[in-house]
C-alpha cells in the first residue's frame, strides 16, 4: 500500500484499500484472524464479484465503469496464487476420479470433495465442476 501511495498509483491504492477492508470486515464478522487460505478466498470472492460487475456494466453500456472495474480486477488478481492450466486440472481430475471410484455424474460430490483442497485458490471451481461433469458423462 505504501508503494502505491509513493507511486501515486490511485487505482492500485484504491484496490488495496478495498481488499484490506474486505479482509478486516470478515475478521470482525467471524471474530477470528484469517489464515492465508482465508485471505485467498476473500480475494477470489472479490475477483468473482468484479467479473460479474463487468458483465453487468457492459450490458448497461457503462464503459467508464467497465474500465474502472477491470483495472481493479487486474490489481486483485496479482494477489492470487498462480492458476492451474486446463491440462494440469485434467490430470488432477483423472486422479481424483480413480481414487474416489466415481463412475457417473451422481458421484461428482466425491470427486469435488477430493479436488477442492488441492485446487482451492488455483482454479475456478465452476470450471473444475464443468470439467468433472464432462469426464463423468463420457
Mark whether 42 and 96 lie in a shared domain.
no
- What pLDDT does 18 receive? 95
- Read off the C-alpha cell for 103: 463412475
Place of cell 484472524: 33
Q: What is the pLDDT of residue 120?
A: 80
Please state, in angstroms and rounded to a whole number, the distance separating the CA atoms of residues 123 and 92.
12
Last residue of a domain, one of 60, 77, 94: 77
Domain with 93 in it = 86-137
CA angle 12-49-36, nearest 5°? 65
Rounded to an integer, what distance in angstroms lies between the CA atom of residue 128 and that of residue 73? 21
Q: Tell me: do 21 and 72 sit in the same domain.
A: yes
Same domain? 31 vs 62: yes
Q: Is the pTM of this model over 0.85?
A: no
Residues 50 and 68 in one domain: yes
Provide mean pLDDT across the span 27-54: 92
pLDDT in tens, 53-70: 999 999 999 999 999 999
Choose the final residue of a domain: 54, 77, 100: 77
Digit-coded pLDDT (tens) for 98-137 = 898 888 888 888 889 989 888 887 888 888 899 999 888 8
Alpha helices in 1-138, H assignment, sequence order: 2-6, 10-30, 36-59, 63-77, 86-100, 108-119, 125-137
Q: Of the candidates 77, 97, 126, which is a domain's last residue?
A: 77
If you search the block for the grid coordinates 483442497, which residue do you land on?
A: 117
62 and 116 share a domain? no
Q: Per-residue pLDDT tens for 71-97?
A: 999 999 999 888 888 898 999 999 998
Task: Provide the domain count of the chain.
Answer: 2
Record the cell numbers describing residue 86, joined without a space.
486446463
CATH code of the domain containing 47: 1.10.1510.10
Amino acid at each position: 500500500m505504501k508503494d502505491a501511495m509513493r507511486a501515486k498509483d490511485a487505482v492500485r491504492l484504491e484496490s488495496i484499500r478495498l481488499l484490506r477492508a474486505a479482509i478486516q470486515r470478515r475478521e470482525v464478522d467471524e471474530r477470528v484472524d484469517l489464515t492465508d487460505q482465508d485471505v485467498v478466498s476473500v480475494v477470489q470472492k472479490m475477483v468473482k464479484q468484479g467479473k460479474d460487475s463487468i458483465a453487468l456494466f457492459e450490458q448497461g453500456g457503462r464503459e467508464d465503469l467497465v474500465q474502472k472495474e477491470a483495472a481493479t480486477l487486474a490489481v486483485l488478481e496479482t494477489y492470487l496464487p498462480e492458476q492451474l492450466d486446463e491440462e494440469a486440472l485434467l490430470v488432477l481430475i483423472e486422479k481424483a476420479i480413480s481414487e474416489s471410484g466415481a463412475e457417473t455424474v451422481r458421484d461428482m460430490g466425491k470427486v469435488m470433495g477430493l479436488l477442492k483442497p488441492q485446487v482451492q485458490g488455483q482454479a475456478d471451481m465452476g470450471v473444475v465442476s464443468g470439467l468433472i461433469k464432462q469426464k463423468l458423462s463420457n
